[in-house]
Amino acid sequence: MQNHVTRRKFLGSTTVAGAGLAVGLPQITRGAEAAAKPAALGGSKAFSGSFPGWPVVEAAEEEAVLATLRSKHWYRGSGKNVARFEDAYQQLTGARHALATASGTAALTTALGALHVGPGDEVITTPYTFVATYNVIVLNYALPIFVDVDPESFQIDADKIEAAITPQTKALLPVHIAGSPADLDKILAIGQRHKLPVIEDACQAHLGEWRGRKVGTLGLAGCFSFQASKNLNSGEGGAVLTNDDQFADACYHFHTQGQAKKVTGASFSYAGTRGSNLRLCEFQGGLLLAQMTRVVAQTQRRTENAQYLTQLLREIPGITPAKLYPGTTRSAYHLYMFRYDPERFARLPRAKFLAALGKEGVGASGGYGPMHRGAYVANLAQDPHFLKVYGEKRMQTWLEQTRNCPQNDRVCEQAVWFTQNMLLGPRTDMDQIAEAIRKIQKYAAELV
């Protein structure tokens, strides 16, 4: 570390007089060059510290878990944590109703269940998402209809949605990928024009905002995940937000075996509808209440760091940070995403770029693979139940359409992701991330 700092200080002081030093002090210059080299070529790491750990655990979490344990009220029917969390999340987001669920998948399952999505229905979504978005549609034996992405934003291309609507379309399921809002003005207008409900997959988008309103509160419903990696975390967990009283009731029923009426006030009675057990438990409710004490400050820190990082990365040819649509008043930055163009890095393949970044102490990933071409969709086209419902011809054209998402191909090839915790440290961490990339670019030909 001492050595690293000294060399960096030295480098700083040599920028003006560098030429003279190169002649007079060849030994020292060689040392400086080594420091400026990527770590993958024997230089020192651009980032030698460590990014903040996740999750944050303090006394509040310990107390919440222990208090629940000792109370012996571990399920929402007898405890108060889950209901308290729902009230708090509702207030934080400005939604009329919040329903806690066992996971983000359970939240989406609840929303689609309350909408009666079923065999023969089509649900329009994006191919660039976590597989859960695919699964919640497919498990209802509905067809996911994939609309290609806007490569600038990584989001569903809202201009292509209307062409995908058919009489079978039951809902629009945009995803706010990375926590940045999809183009909600366009998507909501399409929903209205075609009388189609919009269910926002906001599983990555806690406290993201569109024109000053929290995402997840603009469509008929918004679904959130509190899985361990998420910006609000209880190991597993989720929530449905909605402003619609009837839909809130339907979701509440669905998530607890078709029982009970929450919004309209009647106590534990069968609604006479189908459902499942998708409830959050009291330990998770307690954990979420504790985690929520920090979520606003953490979101603010991520925003500041991400905005600064974007300024730095925009200066690097071949690095294109994901665009935010003009209606975005806040991205949740669950992920920080950019596109990497190997042509500007001496054709250094992305895998080698990622490996070199890792050596700099800046762990990054290439994100989602092209699921719209993979085994998942190929198997679905052969699935006996899908063939029974849709027929061979439809499944074949579906497969062809699904594979025809060229922008998603491109995004899957070029994406680079940083995780949200990397945005929680000091601003100097962002300088060092950018420095790592600049170094790799400078020495890209050697790294190839």
Ligand X SMILES: Cc1ncc(COP(=O)(O)O)c(C=O)c1O
Output the DSSP codes for 379-424.
HHHH-HHHHHHHHHHHHHHHHHHHH--HHHHHHHHHEEEEEGGGGS
Quote the least distance from Cβ 15 to ligand X, whole Å: 43
Contact 401, 147 (CB under 8 A): no
Catalytic residue IDs = 230
Which secondary structure element, helix H or strand E, spans residue 209, and what is its range? Answer: strand 209-210
Quote the least distance from Cβ 230 to ligand X, whole Å: 7
Peptide bond into 181 cis (omega under 30): no
Interface residue with ligand X among 175, 337, 354, 412 (CB under 6 A) is 175
- Residue 201 near ligand X by CB under 6 A: yes
- The region of 38-46, 64-72, 200-208, 293-301 touching ligand X under the rule CB under 6 A is 200-208
Quote the least distance from Cβ 154 to ligand X, whole Å: 12
Quote the least distance from Cβ 285 to ligand X, whole Å: 15
Residues 108-127 that bind ligand X (CB under 6 A): none
Tokens of 132: 């859960």
Contacts of 53 (CB under 8 A, 6+ apart): 421
Nearest 5°: phi and psi at 158? -60, -25
- Residue 104 near ligand X by CB under 6 A: yes
Cα-atom radius of gyration of the chain, to the nearest Å?
A: 24
Quote the least distance from Cβ 170 to ligand X, whole Å: 18
- The region of 100-108, 296-304, 371-379, 439-447 touching ligand X under the rule CB under 6 A is 100-108
| Angle, alpha carbons 343-347-350 (nearest 5°) | 95
Nearer to ligand X, 175 or 309 (CB): 175
Nearer to ligand X, 237 or 361 (CB): 237
Report the DSSP pairing between strands 143-146 and 122-125.
parallel
- The site for ligand X, by CB under 6 A, has a size of 14
Quote the least distance from Cβ 367 to ligand X, whole Å: 11
Residues 220-249 that bind ligand X (CB under 6 A): 225, 227, 238
Nearer to ligand X, 182 or 289 (CB): 182
Interface residue with ligand X among 105, 299, 305, 331 (CB under 6 A) is 105
Nearer to ligand X, 214 or 438 (CB): 214
Amino acid occupying residue 10: F
Interface residue with ligand X among 47, 51, 85, 130 (CB under 6 A) is 130
Nearer to ligand X, 224 or 345 (CB): 224
Give CA–CA dist 193/188, Å, rounded. 9
Contact 309, 430 (CB under 8 A): yes
Q: Which residue is nearest to ligand X (CB)?
A: 104
Largest CA distance in the chain: 88
Q: 210 pairs with which residues across the strands?
A: 213, 328
Quote the least distance from Cβ 432 to ligand X, whole Å: 27
Peptide bond into 55 cis (omega under 30): yes
Give CA–CA dist 448/444, Å, rounded. 6
Nearer to ligand X, 238 or 286 (CB): 238
Contact 347, 34 (CB under 8 A): no
Nearer to ligand X, 117 or 437 (CB): 117
For ligand X, the binding residues (CB under 6 A) are: 103-105, 129-130, 132-133, 175, 201, 203-204, 225, 227, 238
